[in-house]
Structure 1
Amino acid sequence: MSVPLSLPPARRTLRTAADLAAAGLLPEAEREAAERVGARYSIAVTPAVAGLIDPADPADPIARQYIPDAAELLTAPHEVADPTADAPFTPVKGVVHRYPDRALLKPLLACPVYCRFCFRREAVGADGGVLTEAELEAAFAWFAATPAVREVILTGGDPLMLSPRRLEAILARLAALPQIELLRIHSRVPVAAPDLVTLGLAAALGRIEAPLYLCVHANHAREFSPAALEALGRLHRAGVVLLGQSVLLRGINDSAEALEGLFRTMLRARVKPYYLHQLDPAPGTARFAVPVDEGRALLRALRGRVSGLAWPTYVQERPGGAGKVPLGPAFEPV
C-alpha cells in the first residue's frame, strides 16, 4: 500500500537523498553523491529502520547498511552484476534452479528496505517486478513438471511484502504439489518493517500444510527492536519455524563481540542462526568486504563463548552459480 508523500519523513519510508537529509540521516555535504547513487540503485529506509539509526554516530552499523554512499558507484575488478548467477539458472521467469532438490521462486522484486550491499541490487527496486498471473502459473507448471525439486524458497525481493491472501495462495499452491516437502521464505520484513507482520499474516502462514521455515535476514543485534520482537513472536506462536541469516560486513558485524551479540539476540527472539554469508561481490560493495580468513578467525573466537545453537554455517557462493560451500573454520582433533 502506498503512503501519501504528505506525511512527515518520520512516518513514511524514505526513498530519496532529499528524504534522508530532511530526516537528519544524511549530511547535506553528502546529498549530491547520494542522489547519484539513487539514480542507479533504489533507496528505501522504513520508519522502523530510521528509528534505529543514531545520526550522531558516523559509524552507526544500522545506517551503514541502508544509507547510500558514493563508493557504490565504484566497481572493483572482481565485482560482477550477477554474482550468484541467477540468470543462467532461470528456466522460467521468477524461478532459479541451481540445486537438484530445491529452487527459488521470486514472486516480486520489491523490498521494504534496500541494503547497500545487496547482491540483487541491479534487479530489485521500486517498480516491484511482480510476476503476472500468467508468469506465476508458468512457474507453478514448472514446479509441477520437475519432481526432483522438493523444497521451494520464496525470495525476491521480499515475499512478506505481498498481501497475506496473496502469499498464502502461492504457498498453498506449492504445498499441494505431491513432491514438495519443505517451503522456505527469506525476508527482511520482521526487522525492517515489523508492522507488516500482522496477526492476519501470521495466521495465513500458520495455515500452510507443508513444513514452513522463515529465514530472517539481520546483521546487527540492534535490528531486533521491541516491534521486531513482537512481530517474531506472532510468527512463532503461529507455528512458523524461524531461522536467521546474516552477511559478514565490514563496519557492521566484523568483530567477535558484534557477532556474539547478534547470535545471542537471535536466539532470545527464537531465531536459530542458520547462515553467515561471505559477502557476494556485487558492484560497488567492496567497502563491506571482510576477507575469508578474518571471518574464520571471528567464528573460531566464538567457539566456546556461545552455545552451539548460536553457531551458524559460514558459507560462500561459488562463482558461476555453482552454489554455496561451507568455509569453516577448521579445528584440529584432540
Structure 2
Amino acid sequence: MTTLSTSVKRLQAEGQEGTAHAAPLRSIEALRQAGFIGAADRDALEAVAARYAVSVTPAMAALIDPADPADPIARQFIPDAAELTTLPQELADPIGDGAHSPVEGVVHRYPDRALLKLVHACPVYCRFCFRREMVGPGGDALTGDKLDAAFAYLAAQPQIWEVVMTGGDPLILSARRLREVAKRLAAIPHIRIVRWHSRVPVIDPARITAEYARALKVPGKASYVAIHANHPREFTPAARAAIARLADAGHVLLSQSVLLKGVNADVETLSALMRAFVENRVKPYYLHHPDLAPGTSHFRLTLEEGQALVRQLRGNLSGLCQPTYILDIPGGAGKIPVGPSFLNAAATPGVEAQVEDRHGRRHAYPPP
C-alpha cells in the first residue's frame, strides 16, 4: 500500500495549487531520518508499513517531541510494532460498511443519510483508523462511471436528506473537484444537508485557504464540516486560522474525536481538547469509542473506563463542551450513545428515580 497511485498523486498535487508544501513523511526510512524511530526498530516497523499506510504531514511532524516516548502526537501517527498484533475480535471492516454499500463509494446505513466516499487516501494515516484495511496511498478516487453511479443512487433515494462526505479524507481533493461535487449535490432537491468529515484543518492547515473554504459550500444546502482532532496540541496557530476560515465561510463546525489510550484518555487532556474545539467555534459532537480495527488494541480502553471519563466532564465543563460518547456496533448495526447514566431506579413509592449530581450524590425525583 505504500506506492502512490497516479490518480491520487494528481489529486494531491491539484489540492496543493498555490501553496508551498513540504513533502509528508511516507516511509519508515523517512521517519528514521527525521529522528522519530530508531534503527533497531526499523525491521519491525517495515513490516507494519508493508501492511498499513504511513504518512505524517509536516504540520504534525513539527509537533512531535522525539525525546518523549509517550508523545501523544507521535502515538497517533508513528507506526508501532503493536500494530502487528491482531486480536480474534478485530475485524477488517469493523463497522460493517460493506454490508450497507449498495454501489461503490456509497454507504447507506440509516434511512435519511448516506456516506459518499470520494477518495480512499488521506494526507495522514492514523494508527487507529477503523478503515485502515481499505484506505491508503494506493487507494483510487471515485471518478467516471463509478462516481456517476454513486450520484445516480443518491438521486434515486428521496429519503436521503443528508450526505456525509468521507473517505479517506475528501479534503485531499482540489478546490476544482470539490466544486464539481458540490454542483452535483446541489442538483438533487431532497438532499438538504452536506457534511464534510476531515482531518485536514488541523493536520494540513495550509490547504484550507479562503477559496478552498468557499469551494465546500453547496448552493442551496446547509453545510457542515466535522473536524477530527484528538489532542489539544493539534490546535496550532495555523490550525486555528484554517478553522476560522471555514467558520467565516459560513460552515457549521462540529467535532469528531476518538477516545485513545495514551493520547487523550485522561480528564485533563479530554477537557482541554473539548475547550479548544469550543474556543474555535467547533461544537463537540462525537467522541468515539475505538473500533475493533486490526492491530489497534493498544489504543482501546474499556467502555466502563470511557464512561468514567465522560462522567467527569459533566458538571466540570460548560454544556457547550460535552460530546456524545458513541460506540459503533461491530458488523454494521450502527452507532449508539454509551455515555454514563445519571438515573437510578427508586424503590420508594412516589419517587420516580434517584438522580445523581456531578458530585456523586443521589437525590429523589421528584422530591418526597
Instruction: Give the TM-score of the pair, scaled to structure 1.
Output: 0.96
Which of residues 243, 247, 254 is equivalent to 2:258? 247
Does 2:291 correspond to 1:280?
yes
Query: Contact 1:41–1:125 at 8 Å: present in 2 too?
Result: yes
Q: 1:300 to 1:36 in 2, by over 3 A?
A: same
Aligned to 1:72: 83
Aligned to 1:47: 58
Q: How many residues align?
A: 328
Aligned to 2:304: 293
Work out the CA distance in 1 between the residues paired with 2:13 and 2:34: 19
Aligned to 1:23: 34
Matches within 5 A, 1:152-191: 152-191=163-202
Aligned to 1:225: 236
Does 2:123 correspond to 1:117?
no
Query: Contact 2:292–2:330 at 8 Å: present in 1 too?
Result: no
Q: Residue 61 of structure 1 aligns to which amino acid in structure 2?
A: P
Query: Displacement of 1:11 after TM fit?
Result: 3.0
Matches within 5 A, 1:253-268: 253-268=264-279
Work out the CA distance in 2 between the residues paired with 1:77 and 1:208: 47
Q: Secondary structure at the match of 1:233?
A: helix
Aligned to 1:201: 212
Work out the CA distance in 1 between the residues paired with 2:13 and 2:79: 22
Aligned to 2:327: 316
Q: Residue 81 of structure 2 aligns to which amino acid in structure 1?
A: A
Query: Displacement of 1:168 after TM fit?
Result: 1.9
Aligned to 2:156: 145
State the Cα deviation string for residues 53-100 of structure 1 (Å, max 9, x = none): 111100000000000011111101110110011111111100001101
Q: Residue 90 of structure 2 aligns to which amino acid in structure 1?
A: E
Query: Contact 1:89–1:97 at 8 Å: present in 2 too?
Result: yes
Query: Displacement of 1:221 after TM fit?
Result: 0.3
Q: Which moved more, 1:205-214 or 1:308-317?
A: 205-214
Does 2:240 correspond to 1:235?
no
Q: Residue 62 of structure 2 aligns to which amino acid in structure 1?
A: G
Work out the CA distance in 1 between the residues paired with 2:55 and 2:13: 13
Which of residues 129, 136, 141 is equivalent to 1:130? 141
Query: Contact 1:277–1:315 at 8 Å: present in 2 too?
Result: yes
Q: Which moved more, 1:148-157 or 1:205-214?
A: 205-214
Work out the CA distance in 1 between the residues paired with 2:219 and 2:295: 39
Unaligned runs of 5+ in 1: 4-9
Work out the CA distance in 1 between the residues paired with 2:81 and 2:337: 32
Work out the CA distance in 2 between the residues paired with 1:11 and 1:169: 27
Does 2:286 correspond to 1:269?
no
Q: Residue 272 of structure 1 aligns to which amino acid in structure 2?
A: K
Does 2:82 correspond to 1:82?
no
Q: Residue 157 of structure 1 aligns to which amino acid in structure 2?
A: G
Query: Displacement of 1:207 after TM fit?
Result: 5.6
Work out the CA distance in 1 between the residues paired with 2:236 and 2:43: 31
Query: Displacement of 1:128 after TM fit?
Result: 3.5
Q: Secondary structure at the match of 2:284?
A: strand
Work out the CA distance in 2 between the residues paired with 1:44 and 1:58: 19
Query: Contact 1:100–1:149 at 8 Å: present in 2 too?
Result: yes
Work out the CA distance in 2 between the residues paired with 1:74 and 1:255: 25
Work out the CA distance in 2 between the residues paired with 1:242 and 1:202: 12
Unaligned runs of 5+ in 2: 1-11, 15-20, 344-354, 356-362, 364-368
Aligned to 2:107: 96
Q: Secondary structure at the match of 1:106?
A: strand
Q: Secondary structure at the match of 1:112?
A: coil
Query: Displacement of 1:2 after TM fit?
Result: 4.7
Aligned to 1:7: none
Work out the CA distance in 1 between the residues paired with 2:294 and 2:202: 25
Query: Contact 1:111–1:158 at 8 Å: present in 2 too?
Result: yes
Aligned to 2:351: none
Work out the CA distance in 2 between the residues paired with 1:193 and 1:320: 32
Instruction: Give the TM-score of the pair, scaled to structure 2.
Output: 0.87
Work out the CA distance in 1 between the residues paired with 2:43 and 2:203: 26
